[in-house]
Copies of this chain bind each other. A is one copy, B any other.
Amino acid sequence: MFEPWYIAPIAALISIVVGLYFYRYVEKQDSGTDRMREISDAIKTGARAFLRREYTVLFMFVGVISALLLIFLPTPIWAGNPLDNVSLMLAYIFGSSFSALAGFLGLTIATKANAKVANCAQQGLNRAFPVGFRGGAVMGFSVVGIGLLGISIVYFLTGDPEIVLGFSFGASALALFAKAGGGIYTKTADISADLVGKVELDLPEDDPRNPAVIADNVGDNVGDVAGMGADLFDSYVASIVAVMILGAALSLSGNAQFIQIPLVFAGIGIFASIIGSLTVRVRKNGNPGSALNMGTYITCAIFGVLTAVGTYYFGYDWRVWGAAFVGLIAGVIIGVTTDYFTSEDKAPVIKTAEASKSGPAINIITGFSYGLRSIILPLIGIGVAAVVAYMLVSPIAKELLLPADYIVKYGVFGISMAAVGMLSIVGLTVSNDAYGPIVDNAKGVAEQSGLSEEVIAITDELDAAGNTAKAITKGFAIGAAGLTVISLLAAFQEIAAKAGHNAVFDIMDPLVLMGALIGVAIPAVFSAMLMLGVGRNAERMIAEIRRQFSEIPGLREGKPGVKPDYAKCVDIATVGAIRELMPASVVIIVATLLVGFIGGINALGGFLAGAILSSLLLALLMSNAGGLWDNAKKLIETGKFGGKGSEAHKAAVVGDTVGDPFKDTAGPSLNTMITVMSLVASLFAALIVQYNLLGILGL
């Protein structure tokens, strides 16, 4: 019999087909001259080399975790049903593999698309734009298609949302590697290439003489395409799983539909995204930035209408639809307000650029301060969306005359539906996001292969459009991450309750308080470890770049035929990124387990809450300050406040360099970090209820 939630796997399969169609479309385009192919191939080879190494390490990591899952979870294998352990482990492996597959597909086409976009740009903007957008859309539709298909399969086979949690954990573990590892990689290459190339030797950006230039281009792909894709795969899956677990608790109260609503809405979100993506077009002299944003708005509207139809047709409660729609609206609002702090024509960027005239220190203080100020509006947005969604849905429990604790459960279900609403159009937002590094790389290819100024100008325009679109999609990502981790916290509480511990995360409970205090510090420590990792890795790479310039005769002068050893730099960035990533990953998992097994469920709940609050704070601060410094520098480069080469420009370059690991390494990795911590807590919740030190001591 057809059940409504079958919409999810159907939409997922269609999404994969659309992704493959775009893949073929991009692949059919011409890659241009030999030189262009050569550069594109070097980037592709470098990116693949990174992925291969990363996946090798990941393979071992997955092996270790799988063994642990098999032995201990959901219950120790000697205590419960061993079949559950096998299922969970397989779901975990499955989650990792599916996420890896989505990343691989997206990255492959992205590294091919760059030269094709550059080549098409010779025939005009409206010819090049769809190649870039569809290249990004491969990632977008792979992520949602493969993600939702995976969830559907696991749910179909087991019918147990807690086993789906294993799938989600697999995706998260991969995302942590992909996002944080890619983040370290990309900034290692970027900072090193800039510091030696631009600052010491005065070479232009993307100069082929710079040994780090290919690594830098690879970095855009592994950090911004593969990393971002894995990150959103992770958020997308986690948000659906969290709401399924919360929905399962409501289904017990007689509303079997609640466990399936998120799947139905996610499926509809895919249809909306596909239709939206087909409307993204640019005319001959059109503006690609507004085309991308218009696609987002259209998709939101279609999603609103289609889910309303679904709600009517399947007889769902309208208030649940309202909660999802509130999430969507909040995402747009957060995006627009975030945009204010990083736009070149708004006060924060202008004032920071102006402050650069007083030197780098004042530039840093000003940008950092605006970064701090940018935090409040998104947090109000998340907070208000949560309250509205809660207040919409919680009265259902009263109408059903359920006991008082169901009021909270329904309310929290509403919050998590808001998260699903925000993430439902992720197919499109990932497409927009992945478009950015593709056209950025296209510009690099155009410059390195000596295409005309006119063509470079077109790639420039395409690149600028990517930044515009990014502001809105970043709003979605931040808001969705905030709401998702709140629902994961609720899911954790639910799982602990099922295991026999009804926890209230009362901040005046000393264990919750202690957990919160420690939790607040973890995102800070994690960010610090990643950024110090970038610093150490960059030092190694800077030494290598300097070595090549001094040891390879004719390189600096650009003697024809003399080429730097690009592969060596790619290798240093790769090895270093993975080396620096491991300790940070281990620290957050071990800290979560330590707090849980020492302090118990309440301490762990406080810990997660503290970590959620501080990771939102730090992620917004770092992402926005980083974007602001970047654009302040760009503003000066347009000739304002002294222009390129002035003292103000030098000061702004310092700010931009500080902002690089903020916005591309530490800031965006915090989403993944908090998801991983929440999932680890949920997976171990039942064990922690039984075995925790303070509980055993009777305190």
Question: Shortest CB–CB separation between residue A22 and chain B, in angstroms?
Answer: 38
Chain A residues 351 to 380 lying within 8 A of chain B, measured CB to CB, are: 355, 358-362, 364-366, 368-373, 375-376, 379-380
Instruction: State whether A376 touches B518 (Cβ < 8 A).
Output: yes
Describe A's contact surface by its main secondary structure.
helix
CA distance A372 to B524 in the complex (A): 5
- Give the contacting residue for A510; candidates B386, B509, B616; CB below 8 A: B386
- Give the contacting residue for A521; candidates B490, B515, B535, B617; CB below 8 A: B617
Check if A513 is an interface residue, CB within 8 A of chain B: yes
Check if A391 is an interface residue, CB within 8 A of chain B: yes
CA distance A281 to B446 in the complex (A): 73
- Give the contacting residue for A369; candidates B371, B532, B621; CB below 8 A: B532
Among A358, A507, A653, chain B packs the most CB atoms within 10 A around the CB of A507
- Give the contacting residue for A539; candidates B358, B605, B661; CB below 8 A: B358
A residues with a Cβ closer than 8 A to B are 191, 195, 199, 355, 358-362, 364-366, 368-373, 375-376, 379-380, 382-384, 386-387, 390-391, 408, 411-412, 415, 482, 486, 489-490, 493, 504-518, 520-522, 524-525, 527-529, 531-532, 534-535, 538-539, 542, 605-606, 609-610, 613-614, 616-617, 621, 653-655, 657-658, 661, 699
Closest chain B residue to A650 by CB distance? B360
**Which residues from chain B contact A699 at a C-beta distance below 8 Å?**
391
Instruction: State whether B654 touches A534 (Cβ < 8 A).
Output: no
Instruction: State whether B538 touches A372 (Cβ < 8 A).
Output: no
**Which residues from chain B contact A613 at a C-beta distance below 8 Å?**
516-517, 520, 610, 613-614
Instruction: State whether A375 touches B524 (Cβ < 8 A).
Output: yes
- Give the contacting residue for A359; candidates B195, B386, B534; CB below 8 A: B195
Question: Shortest CB–CB separation between residue A487 and chain B, in angstroms?
Answer: 11
- Give the contacting residue for A505; candidates B368, B391, B506, B535; CB below 8 A: B506
Among A372, A504, A511, chain B packs the most CB atoms within 10 A around the CB of A372
Instruction: State whether B521 touches A358 (Cβ < 8 A).
Output: no
Instruction: State whether B372 touches A528 (Cβ < 8 A).
Output: yes
- Give the contacting residue for A382; candidates B369, B482, B490, B517; CB below 8 A: B517
CA distance A383 to B518 in the complex (A): 7
Instruction: State whether B524 touches A386 (Cβ < 8 A).
Output: no
Instruction: State whether A376 touches B507 (Cβ < 8 A).
Output: no
CA distance A7 to B506 in the complex (A): 37
Instruction: State whether B379 touches A520 (Cβ < 8 A).
Output: yes
List 9 extra interface pairs beyond A361-B654, A376-B521, A376-B522, CB under 8 A.
A364-B658, A365-B534, A365-B657, A372-B524, A376-B524, A387-B510, A520-B617, A524-B621, A617-B617
CA distance A509 to B386 in the complex (A): 10
Instruction: State whether A517 touches B379 (Cβ < 8 A).
Output: yes
Closest chain B residue to A505 by CB distance? B507
10 contacts between A and B (CB under 8 A): A195-B359, A359-B654, A365-B535, A368-B531, A372-B524, A375-B520, A504-B504, A517-B616, A520-B617, A521-B617
Among A382, A383, A408, A654, chain B packs the most CB atoms within 10 A around the CB of A383
Question: Shortest CB–CB separation between residue A523 and chain B, in angstroms?
Answer: 9
**Which residues from chain B contact A534 at a C-beta distance below 8 Å?**
365
Instruction: State whether A525 touches B373 (Cβ < 8 A).
Output: yes
Closest chain B residue to A380 by CB distance? B518
Question: Shortest CB–CB separation between residue A681 and chain B, in angstroms?
Answer: 14
CA distance A413 to B408 in the complex (A): 30
CA distance A249 to B521 in the complex (A): 33
Closest chain B residue to A370 by CB distance? B528
CA distance A661 to B362 in the complex (A): 10
Among A359, A361, A373, A655, chain B packs the most CB atoms within 10 A around the CB of A361
**Which residues from chain B contact A654 at a C-beta distance below 8 Å?**
359-361, 364, 654
**Which residues from chain B contact A510 at a C-beta distance below 8 Å?**
386-387, 390-391, 411, 415
CA distance A355 to B379 in the complex (A): 35
Among A371, A505, A616, chain B packs the most CB atoms within 10 A around the CB of A505
CA distance A531 to B373 in the complex (A): 11
Query: Beyond A486-B513, A517-B380, is A525–B359 a contact (Cβ under 8 Å)?
Result: no
Closest 9 CB pairs of A and B: A383-B514, A361-B657, A376-B521, A372-B528, A390-B510, A383-B517, A369-B528, A372-B524, A505-B507
Question: Shortest CB–CB separation between residue A422 and chain B, in angstroms?
Answer: 15
Instruction: State whether B658 touches A535 (Cβ < 8 A).
Output: no
- Give the contacting residue for A535; candidates B362, B490, B522, B529; CB below 8 A: B362
CA distance A529 to B199 in the complex (A): 33
Instruction: State whether A359 touches B411 (Cβ < 8 A).
Output: no
Instruction: State whether B508 touches A493 (Cβ < 8 A).
Output: yes
Closest chain B residue to A513 by CB distance? B386
Among A391, A511, A513, A653, chain B packs the most CB atoms within 10 A around the CB of A513
Question: Shortest CB–CB separation between residue A29 and chain B, in angstroms?
Answer: 38
CA distance A658 to B490 in the complex (A): 40
**Which residues from chain B contact A517 at a C-beta distance below 8 Å?**
379-380, 382-383, 386, 482, 613, 616
CA distance A507 to B360 in the complex (A): 41
Instruction: State whether B507 touches A507 (Cβ < 8 A).
Output: yes
Query: Beyond A486-B513, A520-B613, A614-B614, is A661–B365 a contact (Cβ under 8 Å)?
Result: yes
Query: Beyond A372-B528, A535-B365, A613-B614, is A358–B195 a contact (Cβ under 8 Å)?
Result: yes
- Give the contacting residue for A527; candidates B372, B380, B507; CB below 8 A: B372
CA distance A130 to B70 in the complex (A): 68
Instruction: State whether B359 touches A511 (Cβ < 8 A).
Output: no
**Which residues from chain B contact A355 at a C-beta distance below 8 Å?**
535
CA distance A513 to B658 in the complex (A): 32
Query: Beyond A508-B490, A535-B365, A617-B520, is A525–B380 a contact (Cβ under 8 Å)?
Result: no
Question: Shortest CB–CB separation between residue A471 and chain B, in angstroms?
Answer: 19
Instruction: State whether A373 touches B486 (Cβ < 8 A).
Output: no
**Which residues from chain B contact A513 at a C-beta distance below 8 Å?**
383, 386-387, 486
Closest chain B residue to A607 by CB distance? B383
CA distance A616 to B517 in the complex (A): 9
Closest chain B residue to A655 by CB distance? B361
CA distance A387 to B384 in the complex (A): 32
Question: Shortest CB–CB separation between residue A408 and chain B, in angstroms?
Answer: 6
**Which residues from chain B contact A655 at a C-beta distance below 8 Å?**
361
**Which residues from chain B contact A382 at a C-beta distance below 8 Å?**
517
Question: Shortest CB–CB separation between residue A202 and chain B, in angstroms?
Answer: 15
Question: Shortest CB–CB separation between residue A330 and chain B, in angstroms?
Answer: 12
